[in-house]
Amino acid sequence: MTELSKTGAAVGEPTDSGKAPEAFLEVRDLKVHFPTDDGLVKSVDGLSFSLEKGKTLAIVGESGSGKSVTSQAIMGLHRLGTRGKNVRMSGEIWLDGKELVSAAPDEVRKLRGREMAMIFQDPLSAMHPYYKVGDQIVEAYRVHHAVSKKVARTRAIEMLDRVGIPEPAKRVDGYPHEFSGGMRQRAMIAMALVNNPELLIADEPTTALDVTVQAQILDLIRDLQKEFGSAVIMITHDLGVVAEIADDVLVMYGGRCVERGPAGEVFEQPQHPYTWGLLGSMPRIDRETSERLIPVKGSPPSLINVPSGCAFHPRCPYADIPKGNVTRTVRPELEQVSTGHWSACHLSAEDRQRIWTEEIAPKL
Amino acid sequence: MSETKKTDTVAEAAVPKQASAPEERDVLLKVEGLTKHFPIKKGILQRQVGAVKAVDGLDFEVRKGETLGVVGESGCGKSTMGRVITRLQDPTGGKITFEGQDITRLNTGQMRPLRRDIQMIFQDPYGSLNPRHTIGSIVSAPFRLQGVEPEGGVKKEVQRLLALVGLSPEHYNRYPHEFSGGQRQRIGIARALALKPKLVVADEPVSALDVSIQAQVVNLMDDLQQELGLTYVIIAHDLSVVRHVSDRIAVMYLGKIVELADRTSLYESPMHPYTKALMSAVPVPDPKRRGQKSERILLRGDVPSPIAPPSGCRFHTRCWKATQICKTTEPQLVELRPGQRVACHHPENFADQAPQDTVLLTAAKEASELVPDAVLSEGAAGKEPASDKATAAEETAAAEAAASEAVASEEKPASEKEATASEDKQAASTEETASEEEAVSSESASEEEASGEGAAEDEEASEGEEASEDEVASEESAASGVKTGPGAKVSAGKAVPAADAPAEEPATATGAAADAPAEGSGDTEAVAEETGREAEATGKASGADSQESTGK
Amino acid sequence: MISYILRRTVAAVILLLVVSAVTFAIFFLLPRLAGQTADQLAQQYIGKSPSKADIAAVKHNLGLDQPVYVQYWHFIKGIVAGADYNIGPTTVHCDAPCFGYSFKTHEAVWPQLTSRLPVTISLAVGAAVLWVLSGVAIGVVSALKPRSFFDRAFMGVALAGVSLPMFFTGNLALLLFTYQWPIFGTTYVPFTENPSQWANTLFPAWCSLALLYSAIYARLTRSGMLETMNEDFIRTARAKGLRERNVVVRHGLRAALTPIITVFGMDIGLLLGGALITEYVFSLHGIGEYAVKAITDNDLPPILGVTLLAAFFVVIANLLVDVLYAAADPRVRLS
């Protein structure tokens, strides 16, 4: 907690935990831990951010960085099912003035699908194979609206039409497996938006799709966001997608935020060595091919034994620059680099500036 | 965007630069007319009623020491191709030659010695390693199967291989589940390299890996190639990765290669519209480029079924440039430029292969609605600098003229085709005037035009559209329309909406301007675009065209 | 779909022919291969110390002196057209679906089968309802709280249910509930006559049989549910804001049950061919009991008849399972 509040203070966010924030969505010091036979898995370990309506926040990270767990924590999905009995959650999640971590499960359920909705990576497995697409959308609508099936069906057709599915009145009676990947994801989006949610969480929505379809879907999400003015959290590992759609970026590593800021800033002046690593690892289609990619050495950390100090230090080429043993012993807190741009790194601002401009940027 | 621009500029100028592709090296693997059909059976007697034409006529060769990248969307047959050329599956037809030996019909026993030379790396680092075997036994399996006794013994050799791919030799006795995804993929690579193969076919080798790990594996494969002189065929859906690793790249669509070129040519001046669309869809990690949103070519709908692929050019159902010939005649994969083979009647960045055929198909018109003006105009802009500015000027002039006419025509409610056409012109003209400079950006515009036209035409002529169009088009194309500058096309595109609601036209006009030529027929426009790419021709032509169009 | 069912029906008929041929061969060809003579075979049909003439007569009347394939042909012809059996002084006519004639009981097989079938169906269907309901319910509850006390307790009971033989549980039920405290009747009454008494009599048998099966079904349901509840579409259902009950029943159970259809079809098919031990223990005059008696009497025609009937039910159950499966899972296409 103390550590948390410190973070909060450092981040310049309201330290008065317990009070409703101004922002539409605000997450404060969120921790999601799962006890397992092997030890405590700290999937998310002290994460704070906020998001306004009409804006898009991209959460970037590799598998096991805690990005998907974060999104499911906001939706309250962890507490359900067999795993839900064990999960340990702390911190606060404020959605439109309501605190969700401490709220009664049924209160959160009523918000789910109505105020906040989610689309998933693989639309084929995310839709029930035995029910018609239309019926699944109807179900989503009728959970929150006391209307007849007929009315809900009309609404479903309307939504299918809105997301660009041809012949919606016919496709509404199709089964998920009869849709192509792109169409399925469109149907998923229709299902998520059927109740006009104010927060849409998209968990790798295009990862399973071909590039051409990905372009269609990103376009659609952007248009719909404009139309409905909802807040969007885009979970992804693809920096290209981030650049395409995000206003703000949050880079996660080992269950914590290592860098956060406006998308332009994060791409122009990335502050954290891990962000540099991500940028260096990506082959880019828009630039001359440099001879070699610059990968991050090693593998992502175990969430049971997160490295001491800075979780990234075992993979960081610059871990020895700060004096003493600080990178191995002290966990860096987020510090503001420029307005709205935060980074958690022990390197001094000068060192970061120098490394970025002299060593990293030229090679990208 | 920059990419597109580059493309355009390069298109004409850069040809020689590209030409130095890795040509005369020895061919390691040669594939001719390769097909692989999976039969579909039905009915009481299980008669074969059709076939999934996963691979339907491939011709290419892999040269020693190079990396051939194969890209395409899911369902294009690239993975099947990989399994067939390694003879994990039997081809339905065609011929595969490896080092001069025909291996098409070799049986399992006859293939065995060749298995040393041809190895495969798979996508899924979790599924492709037997969880009950140690790393040592997995990596040494090829030795046992081939009965090879490496120098210094199997164990020593395996440990050498493990070290080679960046693993520790102590991992010899561990099991796959003790390793991360990236490490498993390294194990897969070590196994593939055990027998010092000549050819390694890698099917999506990095797509299941995290970004940072992906880069490690890409670099590893690169190093190994240089160290061991390997030849790779890398199959992937990620165009950025393919670009990074490949010397030459084959783009597949519905079981066929639509373009095969060296890396630079392909990425800087793609000729096949599909290649262009595919590349434009790749998101780029640069938020600044978002401003110029929608340089992106959105393809409508999905890839058609490989059971009943479209006639003629298989891409014609989604192509914004498709004309009658695309529907009827299958384009051959021909070398339009040294080192760049393309199967397209109306290639980008090159002379039209069927200039006489100018009438756009309805589908093309629809498709062009999704081709952003920005893309078109950008392309145009890119080219234009290269081309004569004079041309542009001419165009504008013409456009203006057209515009005036258009205005005249506007008065009449556009119910007839002609009317529509005229409207289009008007719109174009207005736009042009508004932003002459932009107008220049004709190329991209042309695509738009097409769409515009499409709309107009759709109204007019869902019925005899083609016929009528053909006539008109032929005339126009012959005369001016065809040759109109890229700008012309642009205008046309925008014109379409205008046609519907003339009042709005100015607004619509956006960047596109030039379209004086925008004669009614979209086909012409399309042609024009293509032509336009060749700067000179375009310039002159556009002048002429615009005038003519005006005349009409 | 129709073409599929047609094709399957044709296949089913062929399969039944094969089954009958194999069974026939086992009973009539194998003994000969093993060295038994037609005389010895014929002797079985007569009784103790027959005369030579009797044997010869029987041998001739039954066609035992003919090649086996001819005998088989007669058998098949009998099913379609009926047959006449010459038993000494008189000739017995066996009506059209003639599945043979027992010379030991002096009855045609088919009427026996049809009269006993209702008993077997009553037993099988009643038990099936019980075991499906209880098995699935236990399985679901266990799956929702894995490793809980309830889960462990029921899985323990389930294990016992599978391991305890019918001779034990059946007789125990009889002892306690029919003899010790005579709650249940002992005489089978057809459903059409008195449904409550019908159920009353059968209840102990149903329970004993269901105990055996519900254990299996509970385990099947549990593992199916455990798997299904981790599927992505369950997460989607929850993300919609559905109540957990609906998530479990409408989304989880629906998907988990489909594979159970397959197992259920096979079990029911097998049971309809006669629950041998259960019927024997509870003295129900069903197909199973008929089979047991025939086997102990070494009476071949009834055994052949029962075998064919059982095969028929299994084949039909199989077909039904496939059709049902296609109805339950829209991804399955019958072709």
Token pair of B264 as six digits: 């630079």
- Considering only alpha carbons, which residue of chain C is nearest residue B44? C7
Put simply, the chain A residues between 21 and 50 with a CB less than 8 A from any chain C CB are none
Q: How far is CA B52 from CA B43, B49, B250, B251, in A?
A: 17, 10, 21, 19
> Following DSSP, what letter does each residue of C220-262 receive, concatenated?
HHHHHHHHHTTSHHHHHHHHTT--HHHIIIIIIIHHHHHHHHH
Domains of chain C: residue spans and CATH: 2-98 (no CATH), 110-328 (1.10.3720.10)
- C148 Rama class: left (phi>0) / alpha (psi -120 to 50) / beta: beta
Q: Which chains touch B (3 or more CB pairs under 8 A)?
A: A, C
Instruction: Write the pLDDT tens digit of every residue in A104-157.
Output: 989 999 999 999 999 998 888 999 999 999 999 999 999 999 999 999 999 999
Which residue ranges make up each domain of chain A?
2-115+197-363, 124-196
Do residues B119 and B193 touch, judged by C-beta distance below 8 A? yes
Mutate to test the interface with A, among B210, B217, B317 (most CBs of A within 10 A): B210
Q: Which 8-state DSSP code applies to residue C335? A: -
Most C CBs within 10 Å, among A71, A128, A198, to test the C interface: A128
Q: Which CATH architecture has domain A2-115+197-363?
A: 3-Layer(aba) Sandwich (3.40)
Interface residue B42 vs chain C (CB under 8 A): yes
What's the CA gap between B30 and B85, in Å, rounded? Answer: 9
Greater model confidence, A79 or B534: A79
pLDDT of residue C332: 79
CA distances from C323 to B77, C28, C263 (A): 33, 36, 14
CB contact under 8 A, B74 and A210: yes
Phi, psi (rounded to 5 degrees) for C88: 65, -115
Query: In chain C, which ranges are continuous DSSP H helix?
Result: 2-24, 30-33, 38-43, 52-62, 68-81, 109-144, 149-163, 166-173, 195-228, 232-239, 244-246, 254-272, 276-281, 287-297, 300-328
Contact B239 A215 (CB under 8 A): no
For residue A281, the chain B residues in CB contact (below 8 A) are: 211-212, 214-215
User: Which is more confidently placed, B543 or A25?
Assistant: A25
Residues of C in contact with A72 (CB under 8 A): 235
Residue with more model confidence, A288 or A42: A42
According to DSSP, the residues that pair with B119 across neighbouring strands are B200
Cβ–Cβ gap B211/A281 under 8 Å: yes
C330 vs A contacts (CB less than 8 Å): 129-130, 175, 177
Whether residue A284 and residue B284 make contact (CB cut-off 8 A), yes or no, is yes
The Cα A237–Cα A250 span in angstroms is 11
| Residue B456 confidence (pLDDT) | 38
| Residue of C1, C5, C7 to mutate for B, most B C-beta atoms under 10 A | C7
**CA torsion, points C117, C118, C124, C127, in degrees to nearest 10?**
-160
Question: Can you count the helices (H) and strands (E) in chain A?
Answer: 15, 12
Residue A90 φ/ψ, nearest 5 degrees = -145, 170
Question: With 50 as the cut, is the pLDDT of residue C137 above it?
Answer: yes
Using an 8 Å CB-CB cutoff, list chain B residues near A223.
none
Q: What is the pLDDT along chain B (552 residues), one digit of tens a residue?
A: 343 333 333 333 333 333 344 444 589 999 999 999 998 877 666 778 888 999 999 999 999 999 999 999 888 889 999 999 999 999 999 999 999 899 998 888 888 888 889 999 988 777 788 888 999 999 998 888 888 888 888 889 899 889 888 888 888 888 988 888 888 888 998 998 888 899 999 998 888 888 888 888 898 898 899 988 999 999 998 888 898 899 999 999 999 999 999 998 898 889 999 999 988 888 888 877 765 555 678 887 778 888 889 999 999 998 888 888 999 999 999 999 998 999 999 998 888 888 887 778 877 777 777 676 655 544 443 333 333 343 444 444 444 444 444 444 444 443 444 434 444 444 444 444 444 444 334 444 344 444 434 333 343 333 433 434 444 333 433 333 333 333 333 333 333 333 333 333 333 333 333 333 333 333 333 333 333 333 333 333 333 333 333 333
Distance CA C291, CA C137 (A): 34
Chain B residues lying within 8 Å of A240, measured CB to CB:
240, 282-285
**Its pTM surpasses 0.80:** no
**pLDDT > 60? residue A228:** yes
Q: What is the mean pLDDT of residues C70-85?
A: 82
Contacts of B331 (CB under 8 A, 6+ apart): B312, B313, B343, B344, B345, B353
Q: Among B287, A297, B470, A140, which Cα is nearest to C237's?
A: A140
Does residue A349 surpass a pLDDT of 80?
yes
What is the pLDDT, as a whole number, of residue A31? 94
Query: What per-residue confidence (pLDDT) applies to B423?
Result: 43
What count of other Cβ atoms lies within 10 Å of the Cβ of residue B132?
8
**Domains, chain B, ranges and CATH?**
1-21+282-552 (no CATH), 22-43+50-246 (3.40.50.300)
User: Radius of gyration (Cα) for chain A, nearest Å?
Assistant: 21
First to last CA, chain B: 36
What residue has token string 């097409």? B450
Whole-angstrom distance, CA of residue C48 vs CA of residue C65: 21
CB of B219 within 8 Å of any CB in chain A? yes
Mapped to the 3 state alphabet, what secondary structure does B143-193 carry? HHHHCCCCCCCHHHHHHHHHHHCCCCHHHHHCCHHHCCHHHHHHHHHHHHH
Give the whole-angstrom CA distance, residue C326 versus residue A54: 45
Tell me if B299 sits within 8 A of A182, measured CB to CB: no
The pLDDT of residue A181 is above 90: no
ipTM for the predicted complex: 0.88
pLDDT tens per residue, range C183-237: 887 778 888 888 888 888 888 889 888 888 888 898 899 999 999 998 999 999 9
Cβ-based neighbour number of residue B45 at 10 Å: 8
Dihedral sign for Cα atoms in the order B144, B150, B156, B160:
negative
Question: Which pLDDT does position C329 carry in this prediction?
Answer: 85
Contact C7 B44 (CB under 8 A): yes
Q: How many CB atoms lie within 10 A of CB B515?
A: 48
Distances (CA, A) of C242 to A127, A272, B373, B436, B454: 14, 41, 44, 57, 46
In this structure, which amino acid lies at residue C180?
Q
Does residue B47 sit at the C interface (CB-CB below 8 Å)?
no
Contact partners, residue B107, CB within 8 Å, separation at least 6:
none
Name the H helices within B165-292.
181-193, 211-228, 239-245, 263-268, 273-280
**Is A142 part of the contact surface with chain C (CB cutoff 8 Å)?**
no
In DSSP terms, which residues pair with A92 in a beta bridge?
Answer: A28
User: Where does residue C231 fall: left (phi above 0), alpha (psi -120 to 50 degrees), or beta otherwise?
Assistant: beta
Residue B194 CA to residue B137 CA, distance in Å, equals 12
Q: What is the mean pLDDT of residues C280-291?
A: 88
Interface probe, candidates A249, A276, A285, A292, chain B, greatest B C-beta count within 10 A: A285
| Residue A75 touches partner C, C-beta closer than 8 Å | yes
